[in-house]
A and B are shown apart, each in its own frame.
Chain A
Amino acid sequence: MSSRDLILARVRRALADVPRDDTPYDQAFARPYLREHGHRSVAETVDLLAENLADYRALVHRCTAGELAATIARLLAERGSAAVCVPTGLDPAWLAATEVTRVPDSAANTPAELDRVDSVVTACAVAVAETGTIVLDGSVDQGRRRITLVPDHHICVVRVPDQVVSSVPQGLERLDPARPLTWISGPSATSDIELDRVEGVHGPRTLEVVLVSGE
């Protein structure tokens, strides 16, 4: 017998006492928990996102669409970045105000090459206000998972309010499980040494989130 059949047979034997039950899963039990916690206006939801991101040590900036290029240019300059990784589908206008060397996201980039890149600029798929989380789904304006991991500085642009949801259940609804997803709540962190929190062990030590509003 293969181990597959062995394990499945053991499972069936182990469940001999359990009455057969063919209730469809969505009717098997109720989900009385909340779809979101509290009632907030759209503006309040965005404020909550900003607050929770900042609480987890992300640096939060707000600007209008017209100011975005200047904002990104300023953040890269303040950081002294010499090279920035850019997803292939990122709106070129976002980087129109900076001269920093572009490194296009490509399967050919080795991890060691990415390690020499200072910053990365991406969009996101959705942001969850209640937990202060941004989610990347690998779309062309977000790039491969590793480009937001290896460089030490990540600038993530969130279009508000349309990319912001209140809660985890609402966030999951918007996401496609077939895509590789990365949920990010603040910069990389550890509390493994005497429970003292230290930012940035392996992922980016600095996460900057730009909440961009308007056209």
Chain B
Amino acid sequence: MPAFPKAAHEAVHNQTLRGNLRHATHTIRAKRANAVAEVSDWAELREAGKQIKDHTLRHLDRYLVQLEESVTAAGGTVHWAADADEANRIVTYLVKATGESEVVKVKSMATQEIGLNEALEAEGINAYETDLAELIVQLGKDRPSHILVPAIHRNRGEIREIFAREMSEWGRPAPEGLTDTPAELADAARLHLREKFLRAKVGVSGANFMVAETGTLVVVESEGNGRMCLTLPETLISVVGIEKIVPTWQDLEVFLQTLPRSSTAERMNPYTSTWTGTTDEDGPRDFHLVLIDNGRTDTLADEVGRQALRCIRCSACLNVCPVYERAGGHAYGSVYPGPIGAILSPQLRGTGSEIDASLPYASSLCGACYDVCPVAIDIPEVLVHLRERVVQGGAVTREGAKVVVKPAKGHAAERAAMRAARWAFSRPGALRAGQRVASRTRRFHPRTLPGPGKAWSGTRALPPVPAEPFRDWWQRTGGGKLPQGGKDTSK
């Protein structure tokens, strides 16, 4: 995987990609603002979401044990996986134990993170993605580029091509004379996938939330493919990161209000499924929960960085990010793109590789991501913290053990920049209240992204960071562009 600036360099020259991204992010952004404005207690909900998640993380051992007990009591089986390989081995074993060689999958970032589809394929098991966007990505032998709309980089013509060419390889072919209207394309996907749903014996999912108190899992979705995978098969295997816990049933009242509005800008997503273990004669007879660490406990060990584990994967931060808008999701070299990816991936995987060392620079530190985040993750703060780690090295936790990482090579320039930034941070009097990191440090990287970001921003007219906080400038000018038409595609 090339470093972010190199990957982004290619992306910014792809006109289709940039056009699609701009249209999509601006559309969702405008809609989201309306959906949030409808809820007068948004600030309180956001604060409560933050507190619930922080509390859970601070007592994560206790809640994990409680969750295990309640899931088991409800008829489920809990498995623990320290890393991706172990998770893949467990799922493969469970699928093989059913005697089946295919599974249907609900869109899940955790299974993408661990490369489950590839691991299953290596063992002769076909995993079918059933979310429309994931299907487009899978058939196109492609990678997702957005958390919520993974095929955001494809337009309808390309999707028609992919369906017409690939569907017959996997099952029911695309209808003759398929056009590129979204309704016809969705219908082709419906027919293609329905034959898989109706015969599926094993479903694989993630979960948006797990309730420790009751052992309940929650999946939030739109299409109904989630419901198909969660209820039609005989065996259900859910692969979930250990940070997805909330303590009580009541806590869902916060997240079921903030997640849909932040993510698809809807009052409520079309379908939410909750299940607690197994239910007699309704849904799977066998339920397995695979809890994965895979770098999460290392992230938890970082006092500044652990807040990234509050993330509920709403994708709001992607849609407001000026860097994501231009670079696209692929440039981040991970299943977690955008601002959250820039802080999560280098923590989950460490900053050893070129891509991970460059991700903390994949940002203009404008602060828009923090403003929209429904659990108030201070992404700029973590970015600056991670930059410091990249350039200075220091003590970190990897696979549960404390290690000292060396400064990354070839970062002398940023080392200087970071020393200068620390000078500013150590003089609180120099900081005006309410200012965010961008304006605090702007003198050190005014026109281009520093270090590895320089090559990237050199190819782009990155808006100069003005004296006013960039965030304010961004809001005032709509990112230096005239306001978009703001076509509301939901109606």
Contacts and interface: CB of A to CB of B under 8 A. Distances in A.
Contact of B490 (A150, A168, A188, A197): A197
Contact of B133 (A11, A12, A132, A192): A192
Interface in B259-284: 260, 264, 266-276, 279, 281-283
A182 B151 CA distance: 27
A215 interface: no
Chain B interface residue number, banded: 35 or more
Contacts of A78: none
A18 B62 CA distance: 14
Contact of B249 (A21, A38, A144, A177): A177
B303 interface: yes
Contacts of A115: 194, 198
B271 A146 contact: no
A45 interface: no
Given A8-B64, A11-B61, A37 B249 contact: no
Interface string A13-26: 11101100100010
A25 B47 CA distance: 16
B186 to A, nearest CB: 4
B183 A198 contact: yes
A162 B491 CA distance: 30
Interface string A172-215: 11000111111111111111111111101111100000000000
Interface residues of A, number: 74
Given A9-B400, A17-B303, A202-B190, 15 more contacts: A11-B242, A12-B61, A14-B301, A25-B55, A107-B282, A180-B275, A182-B271, A182-B273, A183-B256, A185-B269, A190-B222, A193-B186, A194-B156, A202-B193, A202-B227
Interface of B: 20, 23-24, 27-28, 38-41, 44-45, 47-48, 51-52, 55, 58-61, 64-65, 68, 74, 80-82, 86, 130-133, 136, 149, 151, 155-156, 159, 182-183, 185-186, 189-190, 193-194, 197-199, 211, 214, 216, 222-225, 227-228, 230-232, 242, 247-250, 252-254, 256-257, 260, 264, 266-276, 279, 281-283, 291, 293, 297-298, 300-301, 303, 306, 397, 400, 489-491
The 5 closest A-B pairs by CB, nearest first: A203-B224, A14-B301, A10-B297, A202-B224, A131-B268
